[in-house]
Structure formats: structure tokens, C-alpha cells
Amino acid sequence: MAEMNLAQAVNDGLDAALGADDRVVLLGEDIGRTGGVFRITDGLLEKYGPRRVYDTPVAESGIVGAAFGMAIAGMRPVVEMQFMGFSYPAYDQVINHVARIRNRSNGRFTAPMVIRIPFGGGIGAAEHHSESLEAIYAHIPGIKVVVPSTPYDAKGLLLAAIEDPDPVVFLEPIRSYRAVKEEVPGIYYTVDIGPVRVERAGTDLTLISWGAMMKETRSTAGALEAEGISVEVIDLHTLSPLDSNGILRSVNKTGRAVVIHEAPRTGGFGGEIAAVIQERALYSLQAPVLRVTGPDTIFPLKRSESHYLPSVEQITAAARKTLES
């Protein structure tokens, strides 16, 4: 087992997939010669050649639409959108075609493909480079939406996504790409898409998050534990299909929950989670499910980034408020 960060783990997963399955091909802007703007596909063109790894024109709809056709014809394309902010030109292809062909053809044609999308802020990037609009993908019937927050998960979920008979949007938290390293098996393995990942067991409070915000969520949990508060931390890691029971199991135990995401509050996926909890566990709730999120603003440029991203302080404050009720 080697120590890898999340970026390396995704690269390792792509490598494993290309090695294990001839039907896997990679398409994306600058993913070949340069290995992509985040170097996630580094070395794969050299290793697998130009018939497996394709640099493409700057045309997101074309990339997703062509990969979709390849998938129908039996391949397993994995495409990279350079940043979530640049995935919107392909939104029509995703919602109107990729997500619908199985339904449209009553199962006769399917689109087993993966759309990798780096997302989220915190690196002082230019406009459009810090988007976190997972909610607009999680609301699309017919696809799955996966979000790893750890290197181990990243590789295992990616391989599961590539194996999945249905299309998967695979969201990669930019801020976490090189944040931490952990042991990642060199072998081919998968992590189940669906079930929540209970990262830390606790009894007083449930913190629920995904992607890059797991970092602040973990820190908060750690700090609260130090005060003797037992915190359960859930890494949702699959937004769609949502594992309601996994969430409810935890909240029925703790009676308190805070959902954390960096996407804008209104219409963010945190609303869905709070809704599900109060729908099915209202009577075990000791306090309202609180949301600590980005505000309903556009993700700001570098100098204002700290005004936007939820902080450990904000999460802690929400947690205390919940515990005090």
C-alpha cells in the first residue's frame, strides 16, 4: 500500500480501470499531453496511448455527447470537465440524453459512463473555478452523483462508478486534491455507491457533509470531542441515490444534526437532507436540523473567499446551538 493524496488516488483509479478494461477511454480538455489542469490524468496518455486517452477541443457538450455515443456502443468512457463552472454547457447532454436513454429505450440502450467534475472553492481561483452546484446534478433522475472526500474512497468510488451500468457524475473536491495523504491499496477495489460512510461514531450529535467541507466538519468534531461531546460524522459521499436510512439511523440515535456544505444555502442539497430527517425522524429530533452553508451569493474572488466558505467556527456555533436546544 502506498500513501496517496486524493489527486493521486483518482489517477491510480483511472490507471487501474484503463488496465483492467479495454472499453475504458478517457476524454477531456488537456488531459493528454499535460495530464489535465490538475494533473489527474498524468502519465496515462504515455502509458495507454492515443487510442485510450484523448485531448479534445474546448467543447463540453461535444465531449459529453460523444462519450455518450461511445457508451451506447459498448465502451466505458470517462470524461473530465475542467471545472464545474465549465460543465454547464454540457448540462443539456447530461439531463436530456445521458440520464434518459435507459428510460427512453426501456432498457434497450444504456450509457455506462463517468463524468468527472472537479468542484468547490478555497484555492483563490478565478471566477467560475470555485463552483459547488452539486444540487443541480443530484436533482437529475437517471444518473448517480458521487462525491469522495478521502483518497481511499476516491479510488474505490471511481472504480465503482466506472463499473456502474448507469451514468455517474463523479465530483472531485479541488481543495482536497492534495490536502491529505492516506494509505491507498495499489490493487483494484471498489467502494459501494449509495450507503453513507459513518466516519466517526458518536451519540450526542450528527454532523453531515461531503467533499471538501469534510475537513472543517472533522475539525469541528475533533474539537467538540475534546470537550466530551460525542459526535457522529457522516460523509454522505453519494448524493444520489440518497441513503436516507443511513442518515436516519444516525439521527434517531443522536437526535441532533447539522448539515454542512459550501454551496449556496437556498436550494442546496442540505435542504433535502433536513427535509428527509424531519419527515421521518421528527419525533426523535431534540433540535432543528441546522444548515451551515455558503450564502446565496456568487462564490467570490480571492480576496473575499474567507467571507464565503463556512468556517469551523460557524459549524461549531451551529453545533452548540443544536446541543443547547
Partner 1 sequence: MRTLISPDGTVTDRLPLTLDQMKDLYADMVEARAYDRKSIAMQKQGRLATYASFEGQEAAQIGAAAALERDDWVAGTYRDAALMWRAGYPWSNLVAGRTGDERGGQPPEGVNVLPPSITVGGHMVHAVGLAWAEMLSESGRVALTSFGDGATSEGDFHEAMNFAAVYQTPTVFLCQNNGFAISYPRAEQTRSETIAGKAAAYGMPGVDVDGNDVAAVFLTVSEAVERARSGGGPTLIEAVTYRIGPHTTADDPGRYRTEDTTEEWRRRDPLIRIRRLFEEAGEWSDGWGEELETRSAERIEAAVAEAESLPQPTRSEMFHRMYAEITAPLLEQLGESDG
For residues 121 and 129, what is the distance between their CA atoms, to the nearest angstrom? 7
Answer with the entry of ligand TPP, partner 1, its own copies, none that 133 interacts with (C-beta below 5 to 8 A by kind).
Answer: its own copies
Answer with the entry of its own copies, partner 1, ligand TPP, none that 65 interacts with (C-beta below 5 to 8 A by kind).
Answer: partner 1
Active-site hit among 129, 237, 261, 307: 129
**∠ CA 235-119-159, rounded to 5°:** 60
**From 21, 86, 190, 252, residue interacting with partner 1 (rule: CB under 8 A):** 86
97 included as an active-site residue: no
Least Å distance, CB 188 to partner 1, is 21
| HSE toward the beta carbon, residue 129, CA cutoff 13 A | 13
Least Å distance, CB 95 to ligand TPP, is 12
**∠ CA 64-209-203, rounded to 5°:** 150
Site string for its own copies, 44-63 (x = CB under 8 A): -----------------x--
Grid coordinates representing 266 are 437556498
Nearer to partner 1, 137 or 152 (CB): 137
Does residue 70 interact with its own copies by CB under 8 A?
Answer: no
Cis peptide bond upstream of 77, omega within 30:
no
**From 3, 22, 47, 103, residue interacting with its own copies (rule: CB under 8 A):** 103
For residues 97 and 120, what is the distance between their CA atoms, to the nearest angstrom? 26
Amino acid symbol at 266? T
Give CA separation, 23 vs 65, 68, 93, 184, in Å. 17, 13, 21, 24
Site string for partner 1, 113-142 (x = CB under 8 A): -----------xxxxxx-----------xx
Q: Which residues contact ligand TPP by CB under 6 A?
A: 29, 58, 82, 86, 89
Residues with a catalytic annotation lie at 129
